[in-house]
């Protein structure tokens, strides 16, 4: 019983991280209609920056500097890439972000190095034992994971508030609907995009920081980020709550499948289970659990 | 040459005379069509018929449901209530693919041309239903597939000549001016050798000369290709000249169904759509 | 001056729809084929054949297959590696389990198996499009990665999924030297490229392109988007499956599932973007580009006199890919093929400016 609960918790925890990655995707999609294939590369880039900077300064300063770098990156991406692809097909923009992803991965590793780097946030590493009076053996919870979950929740709450309540949030939603229309009512497209990509950069940084603190920062981080895709599909591409719920479902489902189905199938199910789940949901409900229906007008 | 493109053989036993007569069964019959989008009633209790070989106009103010009506006829929308009878066959469920196979073709108000293809390819695409050779034959091409391609190319060239767009046949359609694109749209529909041709505002955005050309093409489509035509049009001059009978829609309801002259003098129609001289003062 | 259509009138529809309507083009292609079939086998070094030309031929074939699906039919696919893997392992199983099976038959059968699998994974395209379809194809990719390293039957008992190709021979002639391997791949590529070109300029191509451009309008004129999409998946997977088998048998010799992972899928996608979507020639251009780029980057530090480690080179490769994709998408979305056509058009006017 205790093992089941631990598995569930472990699944939820990785679900939190998936949710964060998915959040980055959803933010950019909601606000600029682009699916940002480079989100994973941004996580890697941000985490690498912070990890290397942290070797020379306390981590809050490294965090701030890394964030600044991400803002600059957002500005560059808008200036050099997005500006020239206004109102193109979604597929074109997707391919462009693929290009950005490759570029960032190469650049990040060239500049910051391609080893594995730790991120030290001063978080307690020992797990706490809880519920040992209720369940025999108790349940081990990692404090690190707990703090990660809480920070992630705080970030999500902040962002949701931002989008719903602020003027910029409204403008961003207009941009997501129709670039040209938003431009024609005077919304400064370029500035909006820089803002969104900077926010996504912030989310990427937080994600990278949390994940890097757990596993160390390395190249495979960008591949894990690919998992964000099925999460976002499951939850719906335009929904922040969808990203959260989707992340938790995928994280949980993956862990449970691995633990309980894995042995029967030879293990390694985690590599594709999330995709299978997303596919099944897609076929039943093409817009995802929380997404908006796409209507084709003739 | 004329033998290359004949009107599609009609299965009905009655004589295929183009002149409207009471006895031959109408090509298309709509009965009690109701169409709703959520709470919006797009069409209410629409019922009329279209005789073989006639030119039927549908007119009405913007938003009256004219395009929706065409969409119902060729299966893009499914009405909640009502019956469509085409060529004597009642059709419970109409879908675009089915409509195409039955011999219903249409053009679109906003042009639905295949932007990545040339004029020739767009119109050849309309021949798709008439081409049978399978995948393997096409891969080899020499022999049956090439034979079929050439035969259908001849049909399409006839249409290209008819629409006077020879000079642009290899040009990607996206590069053509609007008026020519409309002709390609018509050409593609004609390539299907349809029994019924639905035209959604074929003259929209055209100047006088272009309208004259298009009117000529529409009338000749009936002569040369034997199609029955239903068209949506705003230009009353065109409607009066071209059509045999007119249906008038207003806010989804049918308010008149008669010859052009009768409709022009119908007080209901005048109130809803045409207006009178006194109103303009 | 040299490149003119003056006097070249077409008097039949057959000649109007030929692949190379301009006489000078036909000369050029004939010369190219002469070089490819005669000059290179006689004069080319083993290195040229093994490291450059054979990979180029096989990747061109794979890119061609992907272009059918993505460029002509507009269905995005990130799982090409999976279908190549299916082709490779299917061919392997057929050759190993059915003794005496001719190589060409095994290749065709492997292609057909890949085509069926392709259609299965293409079924989602009937309900979803764009990004969502990309996810479905990614599912195929990761699932294939897992299947070939976890299901021993598929790899004839190998626990890691790594296998070795059997000896190759066609009609009793052993295909063991680089020259023979090169000619083998070249022949297969020519046959399949011609088949695809015929499909694409005929009825099937129009069905695919209509579905790509506006599938609602396509169904209105009687083209079934279902048939178009499934046939695109089938033909595309057939070709990439054969390419996968060739890659495994001829180029690699021994391989494991990781040889067909997502990197391969993404590389192929880059090839057709850079080379030109919806263009047979573009597939060749793209493949040439991707094959030559790492070699060029490898030589570059030497040429510039700057020392560079292999990891630096690989980082540079990533960065160059990224930059080039973006540059092409902004400046010339129709890829190198479009640039080539523009150049040819300018040549038709030369020496006049317009």
Q: Chain A interface, mutation test: which of C132, C153, C213, C277, most A Cβ atoms within 10 Å? A: C132
- C-alpha–C-alpha distance, residues A246 and A275, integer Å: 12
Q: What is the pLDDT of residue A14?
A: 82
Nearest to A95 among C132, C314, C329 (CB): C329
Confidence tier at C63 by pLDDT (50, 70, 90): very high
Q: What value does the mean pLDDT take over residues C149-175?
A: 80
* Dihedral angle computed from the Cα positions of residues B248, B254, B255 and B260, in that order, rounded to the nearest 10 degrees: 30
Residues of B in contact with A298 (CB under 8 A): 71, 76, 108, 112
Q: Are A37 and A254 in contact (CB under 8 A)?
A: no
Which residue does chain B place closest to C14, by CA atoms?
B150
Q: Do A103 and C321 touch (CB under 8 A)?
A: yes
Q: Do B97 and C219 touch (CB under 8 A)?
A: yes
B120 CA to chain C: closest CA distance, Å?
11
C335 CA to chain A: closest CA distance, Å?
12
Q: What value does the mean pLDDT take over residues C107-117?
A: 95
Q: State yes or no: cis peptide before C351, omega within 30 of 0.
A: yes
Q: Chain B interface, mutation test: which of C68, C217, C280, C334, most B Cβ atoms within 10 Å? A: C217
Q: What is the pLDDT of residue A25?
A: 87
Q: What is the pLDDT of residue B3?
A: 42
C344 CA to chain B: closest CA distance, Å?
17
Q: What is the pLDDT of residue B166?
A: 92
- C-alpha–C-alpha distance, residues C250 and C181, integer Å: 7
DSSP helix/strand/coil, C126: helix
> B 76-135 residues with CB below 8 A of A?
76, 108, 112
What does chain B come to in residues? 281
Q: What token pair was written down for B223?
A: 């002569």
In angstroms, what CA-CA distances link C146 with A220, B6, B234, C258?
Answer: 17, 58, 62, 10
- C-alpha–C-alpha distance, residues C73 and C77, integer Å: 11
pLDDT at B8 over 70: no
Q: What token pair was written down for C217?
A: 């309008």
C256-284 confidence digits (pLDDT tens): 888 998 889 988 998 998 899 889 999 99
Q: Where are the domains of chain B?
A: 26-103+194-276, 114-193
In angstroms, what CA-CA distances link A25 with A69, A236, A239?
Answer: 19, 11, 10
Which residue does chain C place closest to B116, by CA atoms?
C213
Residues of A in contact with B76 (CB under 8 A): 298
List residues bridging with B37 in a β-sheet.
B40
Q: What is the pLDDT of residue A167?
A: 80
Q: What is the pLDDT of residue B275?
A: 65
Q: Do C322 and A100 touch (CB under 8 A)?
A: yes
**pTM of the full predicted structure?**
0.87
Q: What is the pLDDT of residue B20?
A: 53
ipTM: 0.85
Q: What is the pLDDT of residue B120?
A: 94
Confidence tier at B281 by pLDDT (50, 70, 90): very low
Q: Chain C interface, mutation test: which of A78, A282, A296, most C Cβ atoms within 10 Å? A: A282
> For the range C326-329, what are the long-range contacts, defined as Cβ-Cβ under 8 Å and sequence gap of 24 or more?
C326/A80, C326/A81, C326/A96, C326/A99, C326/A100, C326/A103, C328/C273, C328/C274, C329/A85, C329/A88, C329/A92, C329/A95, C329/A96, C329/A99, C329/C273
Residues of C in contact with B110 (CB under 8 A): none
Low-confidence ranges of chain A (pLDDT < 70): 1-2, 87-90, 122-126, 130-140, 219, 221-222, 225, 293-298
Q: Are B154 and C13 in contact (CB under 8 A)?
A: yes
Q: Chain A interface, mutation test: which of C216, C324, C326, most A Cβ atoms within 10 Å? A: C326
- C-alpha–C-alpha distance, residues C55 and A38, integer Å: 29
| Domain topology for A2-284 | ABC transporter involved in vitamin B12 uptake, BtuC (1.10.3470)
DSSP helix/strand/coil, A80: helix
B96-126 confidence digits (pLDDT tens): 888 999 999 999 888 889 988 999 999 999 9
Q: Chain B interface, mutation test: which of C221, C228, C277, C338, most B Cβ atoms within 10 Å? A: C221
B185 CA to chain A: closest CA distance, Å?
15
| Domain topology for B26-103+194-276 | Rossmann fold (3.40.50)
Report residue B207: phi and psi, to 5°: -85, 180
- C-alpha–C-alpha distance, residues C279 and C108, integer Å: 24
B183 CA to centre of own chain: 13
C113-136 confidence digits (pLDDT tens): 999 999 988 887 887 777 778 878
C246 CA to chain A: closest CA distance, Å?
27
B76 CA to chain C: closest CA distance, Å?
8
Q: Are C240 and C80 in contact (CB under 8 A)?
A: yes
CA proximity to B152, closest of C231, C15, C13: C13
Nearest to B117 among C13, C204, C209 (CB): C209
B12-61 confidence digits (pLDDT tens): 455 555 555 455 788 899 998 999 988 888 899 999 999 998 999 999 88
Four-residue CA torsion sign, B130, B134, B138, B144: negative
State the chains in contact with C (3 or more Cβ–Cβ pairs under 8 Å).
A, B
Residues of A in contact with C139 (CB under 8 A): 230, 272, 275-276, 278-279
A4 CA to centre of own chain: 27
Burial of C167 (0-12, 13-18, 19+ CB in 10 A): exposed
DSSP helix/strand/coil, A291: coil
DSSP helix/strand/coil, B86: strand
Nearest to C206 among B76, B95, B124 (CB): B124
Residues of C in contact with A116 (CB under 8 A): none
pLDDT at C183 over 80: yes
Helix (H) / strand (E) containing C210: helix C203-213
Q: Are C179 and C50 in contact (CB under 8 A)?
A: no
Q: Where are the domains of chain C?
A: 20-258
- For Cα atoms C56, C60, C66, give the angle at the middle one, nearest 5 degrees: 145
Chain B interface includes C219 (CB < 8 A): yes
CA proximity to A217, closest of A290, A87, A113: A113
In angstroms, what CA-CA distances link C256 with B87, B127, C154, C176?
Answer: 61, 47, 12, 21
Q: Are B7 and B16 in contact (CB under 8 A)?
A: yes
Confidence tier at B228 by pLDDT (50, 70, 90): very high
pLDDT at C315 over 50: yes
Interchain CB contacts (distance < 8 Å): B and C: 101
Report residue B57: phi and psi, to 5°: -105, 145
More confident call, C297 vs A77: A77
Sequence-ordered strand ranges (E) for C125-282? 163-164, 169-170, 173-174, 254-255
- C-alpha–C-alpha distance, residues C216 and C43, integer Å: 53
Q: What is the pLDDT of residue C117?
A: 93
DSSP string, B157-190: HHHHHHHT-GGGTTSBGGGS-HHHHHHHHHHHHH
- C-alpha–C-alpha distance, residues C37 and C290, integer Å: 23
Q: What is the pLDDT of residue C195?
A: 94
- C-alpha–C-alpha distance, residues B156 and B160, integer Å: 6
Residues of C in contact with B135 (CB under 8 A): 199, 204, 231, 235
Q: Do C13 and B140 touch (CB under 8 A)?
A: no
What does chain C come to in residues? 354
């Amino acid at each position: 019983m205790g093992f089941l609960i631990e598995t569930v918790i472990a699944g939820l925890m990785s679900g939190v991280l998936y949710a964060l990655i998915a959040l980055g995707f959803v933010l950019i999609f909601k606000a600029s209609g682009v699916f940002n294939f480079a989100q994973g590369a941004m996580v890697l880039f941000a985490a690498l920056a912070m990890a290397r900077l942290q070797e020379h300064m306390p981590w809050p300063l490294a965090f701030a500097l890394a964030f600044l770098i991400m803002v600059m990156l957002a500005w560059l991406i808008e200036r050099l890439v997005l500006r020239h692809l206004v109102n193109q097909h979604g597929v074109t923009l997707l391919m462009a972000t693929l290009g950005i992803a490759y570029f960032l991965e190469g650049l990040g590793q060239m500049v910051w190095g391609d080893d594995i780097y730790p991120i030290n946030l001063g978080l307690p590493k020992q797990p706490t034992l809880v519920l040992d009076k209720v369940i025999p053996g108790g349940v081990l919870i990692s404090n690190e994971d707990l703090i990660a979950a809480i920070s992630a929740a705080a970030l999500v709450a902040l962002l949701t508030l931002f989008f719903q309540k602020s003027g910029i949030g409204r403008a961003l939603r207009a941009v997501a609907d129709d670039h040209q229309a938003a431009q024609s009512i005077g919304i400064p497209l370029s500035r909006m995009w820089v803002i969104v990509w900077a926010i996504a950069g912030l989310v990427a940084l937080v994600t990278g920081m949390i994940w890097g603190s757990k596993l160390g920062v390395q190249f495979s981080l960008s591949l894990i980020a690919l998992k964000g895709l099925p999460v976002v599909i499951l939850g719906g591409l335009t929904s922040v709550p969808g990203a959260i719920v989707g992340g938790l479902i995928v994280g949980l489902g993956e862990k449970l499948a691995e633990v309980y189905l894995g042995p029967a199938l030879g293990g390694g199910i985690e590599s594709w289970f999330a995709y299978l789940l997303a596919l099944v949901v897609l076929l039943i409900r093409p817009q995802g659990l929380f997404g908006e229906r796409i209507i084709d007008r003739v | 040459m004329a033998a290359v493109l004949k009107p599609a053989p009609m299965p009905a036993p009655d004589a295929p005379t183009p002149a409207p007569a009471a006895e031959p069964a109408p090509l298309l019959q709509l009965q009690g069509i109701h169409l709703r989008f959520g709470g919006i009633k797009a069409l209410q209790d629409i019922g009329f018929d279209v005789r073989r070989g006639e030119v039927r106009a549908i007119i009405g103010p913007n938003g009256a449901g004219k395009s929706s009506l065409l969409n119902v006829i060729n299966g893009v929308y499914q009405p909640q209530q009502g019956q469509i009878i085409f060529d004597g066959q009642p059709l419970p469920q109409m879908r675009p693919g089915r409509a195409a196979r039955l011999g219903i073709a249409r053009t679109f108000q906003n042009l639905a041309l295949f932007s990545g293809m040339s004029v020739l390819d767009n119109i050849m695409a309309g021949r798709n239903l008439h081409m049978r050779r399978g995948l393997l034959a096409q891969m080899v091409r020499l022999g049956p597939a090439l034979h079929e391609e050439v035969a259908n190319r001849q049909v399409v060239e006839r249409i290209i000549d008819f629409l006077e767009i020879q000079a642009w046949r290899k040009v990607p359609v996206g590069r053509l001016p609007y008026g020519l694109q409309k002709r390609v749209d018509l050409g593609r529909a004609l390539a299907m050798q349809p029994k019924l041709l639905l035209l959604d505002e074929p003259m929209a955005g055209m100047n006088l000369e272009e309208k004259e050309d298009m009117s000529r093409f529409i009338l000749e489509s009936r002569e040369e290709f034997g199609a029955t035509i239903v068209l949506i049009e705003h230009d009353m001059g065109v409607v009066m000249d071209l059509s045999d009978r007119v249906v008038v829609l207003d806010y989804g309801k049918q308010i008149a169904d008669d010859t052009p002259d009768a409709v022009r003098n119908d007080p209901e129609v005048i109130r809803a759509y045409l207006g009178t001289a006194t109103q303009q003062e | 001056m040299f490149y003119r259509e003056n006097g070249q009138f077409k008097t039949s529809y057959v000649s109007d729809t030929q692949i190379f309507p301009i006489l000078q083009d036909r000369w050029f292609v004939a010369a190219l084929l002469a070089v490819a079939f005669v000059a290179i086998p006689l004069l080319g070094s083993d290195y040229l054949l093994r490291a450059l030309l054979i990979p180029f031929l096989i990747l061109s074939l794979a890119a061609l297959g992907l272009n059918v699906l993505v460029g002509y039919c507009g269905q995005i696919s990130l799982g090409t590696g999976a279908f190549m893997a299916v082709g490779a392992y299917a061919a392997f199983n057929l050759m190993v389990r059915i003794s005496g099976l001719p190589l060409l038959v095994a290749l065709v059968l492997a292609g057909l198996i890949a085509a069926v699998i392709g259609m299965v994974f293409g079924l989602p395209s009937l309900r979803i499009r764009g990004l969502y379809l990309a996810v479905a194809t990614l599912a195929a990719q990761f699932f294939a990665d897992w299947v070939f390293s976890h299901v021993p039957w598929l790899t004839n008992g190998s626990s890691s999924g790594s296998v070795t190709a059997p000896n190759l021979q066609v009609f009793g002639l052993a295909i063991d030297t680089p020259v023979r391997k090169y000619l083998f791949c070249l022949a297969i590529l020519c046959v399949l490229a011609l088949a695809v070109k015929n499909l694409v300029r005929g009825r099937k191509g129009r069905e695919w392109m209509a579905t790509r451009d506006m599938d609602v309008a396509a169904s209105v004129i009687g083209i079934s988007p279902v048939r178009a999409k499934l046939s695109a998946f089938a033909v595309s997977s057939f070709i990439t499956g054969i390419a996968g088998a060739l890659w495994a048998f001829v180029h690699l010799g021994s391989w494991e599932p990781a040889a067909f992972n997502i990197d391969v899928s993404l590389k192929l996608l880059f090839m057709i973007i850079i080379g030109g979507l919806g263009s047979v020639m573009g597939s060749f251009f793209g493949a040439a580009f991707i094959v030559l780029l790492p070699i060029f980057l490898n030589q570059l530090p030497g040429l510039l006199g700057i020392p560079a480690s292999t990891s630096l080179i690989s980082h540079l490769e990533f960065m160059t890919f990224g930059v080039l994709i973006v540059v092409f998408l902004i400046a010339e979305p129709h890829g190198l093929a479009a640039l080539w056509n523009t150049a040819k058009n300018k040549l038709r006017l030369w020496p006049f400016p317009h």
